């Protein structure tokens, strides 16, 4: 049973939109940050967006600024990633992650303690 469960991936034409969802298990407590990372086979995992749970501050990778939006849901420990104006280079497995640290760097995946299995996003070229 996963501690973080993602949903919402799929295949969409370039210029289209998708919304990813992530729900953290009730067994995870004191989460300070939640984030989205993506990975393409043969490449390093890339931080996409993060949000501080108490405060709402957000951070985005330069490659997605202005196109992606991370937000919290009404349910505790739920986050979304709204992805607009999708490009073929956005094709990847998208993973949700949670951190219990008081500071979590989007460029440092090791700052995150819990990970989901991922949901595939495909934007054909």
Q: What is the pLDDT of residue 74?
A: 84
pLDDT level of residue 120 (50, 70, 90 thresholds) = very high
Task: Using alpha carbons, list the distances in angstroms from residue 40 to 100, 113, 114.
Answer: 26, 21, 20
8 Å CB contact between 48 and 85:
no
Q: What is the pLDDT of residue 122?
A: 98
Q: Tell me the pLDDT tens digit for each residue of 66-112.
A: 999 999 988 778 999 999 999 999 999 999 999 999 899 999 999 99
Both structure tokens of 116: 């989901």
Task: Using alpha carbons, list the distances in angstroms from residue 96 to 14, 15, 56, 83.
Answer: 23, 23, 17, 14
Q: What is the pLDDT of residue 62?
A: 97
Q: How does the average pLDDT of the chain come out, rounded? A: 94
Q: What is the pLDDT of residue 27?
A: 81
Judged against a pLDDT cut of 80, whether residue 1 lies above it is answered with: no
Q: Tell me the pLDDT tens digit for each residue of 27-47.
A: 888 899 999 999 999 999 999
Q: What is the pLDDT of residue 83?
A: 98
């Amino acid at each position: 049973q996963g501690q973080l469960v993602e949903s919402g991936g799929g295949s969409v034409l370039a210029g289209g939109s998708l919304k990813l969802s992530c729900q953290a298990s009730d067994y995870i407590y004191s989460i300070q940050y939640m984030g989205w990372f993506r990975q393409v086979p043969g490449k390093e995992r890339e931080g996409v967006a993060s949000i501080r749970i108490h405060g709402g501050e957000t951070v985005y990778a330069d490659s997605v600024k202005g196109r992606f939006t991370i937000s919290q849901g009404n349910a505790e420990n739920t986050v979304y990633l709204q992805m607009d104006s999708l490009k073929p280079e956005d094709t990847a497995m998208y993973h949700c992650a949670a951190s219990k640290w008081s500071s979590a760097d989007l460029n440092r995946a090791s700052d995150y303690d819990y990970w989901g299995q991922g949901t595939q996003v495909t934007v054909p070229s």
